[in-house]
Chain A
Amino acid sequence: METTLIKTVNLTKTYNVGEIDVHALKSVNITINKGEFVAIMGASGSGKSTLMNLLGCLDMPTSGDYFLDGINTSKLQQNEYANIRNQKIGFVFQGFNLLPRTTALENVELPLMYDRLEKVKNHQKQATEALKRVGLGDRMHHIPSQLSGGQQQRVALARALVNEPSLILADEPTGNLDSVTSVEVFNLFQKLNDEGITIVMVTHERDFAAFAKRIIEMRDGRVIRDAKIKDRLNAEEELKKVIAEAEIAE
């Protein structure tokens, strides 16, 4: 039986810029079940980031309701919002948003420090494991400026994973990365999804959307298409292919 993780009801976001109202989201209704892997696509300015920020509890909707795990988030207090961000959601940004001059390990430890339940006793051990999971066991004491873009994004992913959330939200996680590195990141996403973590990500490229299981297309703040992906790509195999191609090119 499938259980609902995300359900939005007439979710609407309007920005006021001077005298003009920008309707970034217009009554969006979507439902995402546990274990899904959703790619959100759409033209620039169609409201993808706005939707992601609302799903990630980083911003408040102008109207409408957002149910996460059965809880109506619009009824929550500020502190409960913080708890949800800390416990249930791992957010990955296009621009990484790592703390500068701070080692990968310390960056990944951060969410553990803000965990009020203190589920994890040994922060360092937990953070080390998260970094190993994204393949950065040998880069723990590097600061962001000493890491490549792909490595920084993997640190950000480790940070998103460290509190073992049930939902990973990623807004153009590979927007700043080359295609090989991007496929590596999607490979990680697929593995995490196989482990049962629900993933919602925004991407601009149809090729990358094919790594997901379902695709939602947006235009002008509305959902215009919502479909299962038929020919799903396996990132592991794609990775082998692109690496082989790169070797031939050399």
Chain B
Amino acid sequence: MKAKIILKVATRSIMKSRMRSLLTALGIIIGVAAVVVMVAIGDGAQQKVEEQIASLGSNLIIITPGASNSGGVNRGMGTFNRFTWEDVDKIKNEATLIKGVTPIVFSGGQVVGGVGNWFTRIQGVSPDYLEIRSWPLASGEFFTERDVMARAKVCILGADIVKNLFPNDDPIGQQIRIRNTPFRVIGVLKAKGQSSVGTSNDDIILAPSRTVGDRLSGDHMRIGSIQVSAISNDKIPAVIAELKSIMRESHKLTQGEDDDFTIQDQSDLSETATATSRILTILLASVAGVSLVVGGIGIMNIMLVSVTERTREIGIRLSIGARASDILVQFLTEATVLSLSGGVIGVLLSFLIAYLLNNYTSQSAYIRPQIIMIAFGFAGAIGIFFGYYPARKASALNPIDALRYE
């Protein structure tokens, strides 16, 4: 038979049994859309995590106290386990390939001012902080190195603090009390949104590192980490090596002694984070896989239910002169047309869902082309196989046996 006639026969047959065709296509549509959307949600989450890590600042390197593999090692008394101002100054003075360095002095407490009070994180940092974290100010200005050395009582508010304490006024120039110490607000940070773990990045107050260290932390002053930004991405390994030797010197570690600090760059950070979100992707993909199988069983069911009717149809066609190959080609074409159109609709549907998720919910979805291919291929294979298999059996029958089939 000519291709034109085959297509004609197949499309006629599809149109004659609209319900069956629709249900078959529906199985594929749902299967494909489910897989693509589920995986897209997983990938979207992963991408969001990666974006957030990137938003930590470009070329960020973080030094934290304690060895990365300190677990099994018994560290004796007097081991250097805290960072000091000297560590920070030494890096600042000696490191050559860095744009900036800041200690992060952790504190926190009740803040009173504006319309009420608020419990929040307070971080003591250096003026380099903004550049290191690529976090611009919304208004006002940042403090200077002189403010740091003078332990000036000035601070920068995160967007959440402004929202809660100064919903109506401009906070710049206002006085607030952090743990009973008065501070003057000199700047406001741009809103950054949620972090990967779901907490707000904007629920924070920044103040000069030494102010926080000496006035707010008391005896328990703790430099939680030292953050550095390299001058460029490809210099990161060199910077890490440099920092390592500066820190070892500063901590007077002798040869053979282990590091008492850990240096991480973003690739280390993103590895852990993506590992977590990859688990999510796998989880969603397995749910999607199940729906694909369920969709496949649906297709199977419909195809098998219609076997009697179809076998009689095949008997009629054979009795008026169709060859077994004509029947096979017809059914194969039919199944392919249904599977392809179902697959295309499924993919379009998943694009629509992804669009809605991205634009109207906090969930993000990212569709990878490979997933489309996989879902499409799998659903298509199921559709084609179950369209083809009954036809294969029936077309091998004598016409009269196919006509009598029940």
Contacts and interface: CB of A to CB of B under 8 A. Distances in A.
Contacts of B9: 113
Given A59-B398, A113-B1, A85 B319 contact: yes
B114 interface: no
Contacts of B312: 97
A102 B315 CA distance: 16
Interface stretch (B62-70, B196-204, B266-274, B320-328): B320-328
B321 A85 contact: yes
Interface string A34-60: 000000000000000000010010111
A85 B399 contact: yes
22 contacts: A58-B403, A59-B398, A59-B400, A60-B398, A78-B323, A78-B324, A83-B321, A86-B320, A86-B322, A91-B319, A97-B316, A97-B319, A99-B313, A100-B16, A101-B16, A110-B320, A111-B320, A111-B321, A113-B9, A114-B321, A114-B322, A163-B321
Chain B residues touching A, majority SS: helix
Contacts of A114: 1, 317, 320-323, 326
A82 B398 contact: no
Contacts of A98: 316
B5 interface: yes
A56 B400 CA distance: 10
A102 B398 contact: no
A79 interface: yes
Given A58-B400, A85-B399, A159 B313 contact: no
Contacts of B319: 56, 58, 85, 91, 97
B324 A159 contact: no
Residue among B1, B315, B316, B325 with the most chain A CB within 10 A?
B316
Contacts of A56: 319
Given A53-B400, A58-B399, A83-B321, A101 B17 contact: yes
Given A53-B400, A97-B403, A113-B1, A82 B323 contact: yes
Interface residues of B, number: 27
Interface string B286-319: 0000000000000000000000010011011111
Contact of B322 (A82, A91, A97, A101): A82
Interface string A89-104: 0010100011111100
Nearest to A162: B320
B12 interface: yes
Nearest to B401: A59
Interface of B: 1, 5, 8-9, 12, 16-17, 309, 312-313, 315-326, 398-401, 403
A157 to B, nearest CB: 13
A106 interface: yes
Contacts of A82: 318, 321-324, 326
Interface in A89-144: 91, 93, 97-102, 106, 110-111, 113-116
Contacts of A83: 321
A115 to B, nearest CB: 7
A8 interface: no
A152 interface: no
Contacts of B8: 113
A69 to B, nearest CB: 16
Nearest to B326: A114
B320 A159 contact: yes
Contacts of B326: 82, 114
Contact of A87 (B16, B321, B325): B321
Nearest to B15: A101
Nearest to B8: A113
Contacts of B324: 78, 82
A99 B316 contact: yes
A102 B318 contact: no
